[in-house]
Amino acid sequence: MVIFDRINEKEDVSLRPDSTNEKTATLSQSHSHLYGNSTDSTESALPRVSLNSYSTSTASVETSANRRRSFYQRWIDSFKPINLEDDGVDTSRLTPLEKSILASAKHPLARKLKTRHLNMIAIGGSIGTGLFVSSGYALARGGPAAVLIGYIIVGYAVLTMVYSLGELSVQFPVSGSFNAFFTRFIDPSWGFTLAIMYYLSWAISYPSELIACAMTIQFWTTSINPAVYVAIVWVVILVVNFFGVRGYGEVEFVLSIIKVLAVVGFIILGICITCGVGDQGYIGGKYWHDPGAFNHGFKGVCSVFISSAFSFGGVELVALTAAETLQPKISLRRATKQVFWRVTIFYLLTSIVIGCLVPYTNNDLLNGEGIAASPFVIAVNQGGIKVIPHIMNAVIVAAVISVGNSSVYGSSRTLASLAAQGLLPGIFGYIDKEGRPLVAILLSSLLGLLGFLVVNKNEDAVFTWFFSVCSLASFFIWLMVNVTHLRFRYALRRQSRSTNEIIFKSPLGTWGSWTGLFLLLFIICVLIWVSAYPIDVHGSDVVSFWQSCLSLPLLILIWVLHKTYYKTWNQLWIKLEDIDLDTGRREADLDRLKQEIAEEKEKFRAKPFYYKVYHFFC
């Protein structure tokens, strides 16, 4: 199935690989003007300047005033809807699925993210409370060996997902990325269901990050109501997102550098403390023997999975930027490969260092409040280093702001993509002249006002139930990304297409997608088991189960309702031969693309061995 085969027979437009019609390139590029910067063509004319000094002075004042008015006018005009030129495409004969694919391909988001932005988003974009604080909870529940094993297992599953997603996003840099891919390669009902779950994950995470930021700042002073900090951070994040994707990219670039330097510095400091620097003397692997490497056995290892998922959450965000990336062919594949180093350095090495520095019996890991529960702070406090906790606290504040910023970005782009695909009312897909999904940003920001629950004594219980809505969502989304990648590859084969047209191939190929899929299925099953029969509880616990697994029946319910509403029970998934493999490419000339890929492969073969190894990981 190719959308443009059915658009207008008079124009004879086709995106088939064997088509030589020049209108193919014209049509696929007809929306390229949508992604540039929007400028106001109604600039006010400069006033005439008289030769006498008075007139010159007056003219200068008038010019300054006109420039100010022009700036304000441009600023006001930037919030108006983007002007979409009619490309002459008749969509009356398209199916809802075809309209959805076409809409996500030409959604007019601004392409302003550069390679450096994506690299830092990939490396440190979602490092936050999951690594800095929640890793302590995982350590207390499972022990140091369980944390390491959990991060390795979940890390590998995440790596297979990111590689699969990178291949698809470079090939089809469309609005919504994997949310649109679910609709396109599996089924619209799955696309809607998983996108809603993904949106809820970010939307609920945002107010909780605001609360975490307020509680972290209280490490220095408790004389100010934490609601004040929530309000300040909320305004800052809203302003950043009003600067558009470029503002988001620049802020994430700076904050990610801070987080990366902090984690690397902690690893170096942790190694030094383990080797004898500090008040404790030489530690080595002491805590791996006493109190031990494992706590609660196999169930302790399984309990680490949910904390690991929270730590890795947002790693897929780099693919969501595909439609707003200037050069996805270069930037996205580089950023995708950076995830390997993020998994290895920031999670595996950190888990080893933390396991050596903090025993899982430490009381603050489970009972400490805010920053006091962070194994990073506990480790340096035990080492007798006084100033480092303040530095780590500042880093955690920066990390929480970064994740809050990503929450607004991720939820707003998901909402806008759903609207563009026709799965939500069109108002949510409102795009202004600067390429910002304005309504989606405002709605996502308004949900952040739930952060004022920080003044409520029961806010922990409230957010526990909020998070139960999307507790297993990340695992399901990651699993379905691997399914999507497999269906893309098999659709190529079914339609007699070659993998030679794939711009960036997953280093792990379909084998990686299959192993990642089964591994994620295993993780979901054991998490359901641990939720039903939690640690330290004799028998089953209904409350614990629903707090951890409420997302499972909710996911099924949304899918069933969507199927029923649109009456699509006759088709549970799209047939491989009907999958659209062309709409959304930025390279319209398929033959030229194949030639470029072949030339790149030929140059790569001539490179030395060490370069090939470097290229595989970087």
DSSP 328-391: HHHHHHHHHHHHHHIIIIIIIIHHHHHHHHS-TT-THHHH--GGGG-HHHHHHHHTT-SSHHHH
For residue 376, what are the domain limits?
Answer: 96-586
Under the banding of pLDDT at 50, 70 and 90, the label for residue 491 is: very high
Residue 425 to residues 252, 428, 564, Cα–Cα distance (Å): 30, 6, 18
Q: How far is CA 509 from the centre of its chain?
A: 22
Amino acid 95: pLDDT? 67
Instruction: For residue 519, give the 3-state DSSP assignment.
Output: helix
Has residue 103 been placed in a domain? yes
Neighbours of 327 (CB within 10 A): 15
Q: What is the CATH number of the domain that holds 145?
A: 1.20.1740.10
Instruction: For residue 113, give the 3-state DSSP assignment.
Output: strand
Has residue 45 been placed in a domain? no
Question: What's the mean pLDDT in 292-314?
Answer: 83
Instruction: For residue 432, give the 3-state DSSP assignment.
Output: strand
Has residue 76 been placed in a domain? no
Instruction: For residue 433, give the 3-state DSSP assignment.
Output: coil
Q: Is the peptide bond before 534 cis (omega within 30 degrees of 0)?
A: no
Amino acid 260: pLDDT? 84
Amino acid 593: pLDDT? 66
Residue 207 to residues 232, 291, 371, 471, Cα–Cα distance (Å): 13, 37, 18, 16
Is residue 147 over pLDDT 50?
yes
Has residue 293 been placed in a domain? yes
Q: Give the gyration radius of the chain's Cα atoms.
A: 26
Of 125, 338, 122, 109, nearest to 246 by C-alpha is 109
Give the least confident one: 52-61, 184-193, 218-227, 605-614: 52-61
Does the pTM of the predicted model rise above 0.75?
Answer: yes
Has residue 71 been placed in a domain? no
Residue 418, token pair as written in the block: 């759903």
Question: What's the mean pLDDT in 500-510?
Answer: 87
Give the least confident one: 167-176, 454-463, 523-532: 454-463
Residue 130 near residue 334, CB atoms below 8 Å: no
Has residue 355 been placed in a domain? yes
Is residue 104 over pLDDT 50?
yes
Question: What is the average pLDDT score of the chain?
Answer: 77
Has residue 380 been placed in a domain? yes
Residue 452 near residue 214, CB atoms below 8 Å: no
Amino acid 58: pLDDT? 43
Has residue 32 been placed in a domain? no
Residue 312 near residue 154, CB atoms below 8 Å: yes
State how many domains the chain has: 1
Instruction: Tell me which residue has tokens 């199916």.
Output: 95
**DSSP string of 150-195?**
HHHHHHHHHHHHHHHHHHHHHH---TTTHHHHIIIII-HHHHHHHH
Give the least confident one: 12-26, 227-241, 467-481, 499-513: 12-26
Residue 214, token pair as written in the block: 């307020």
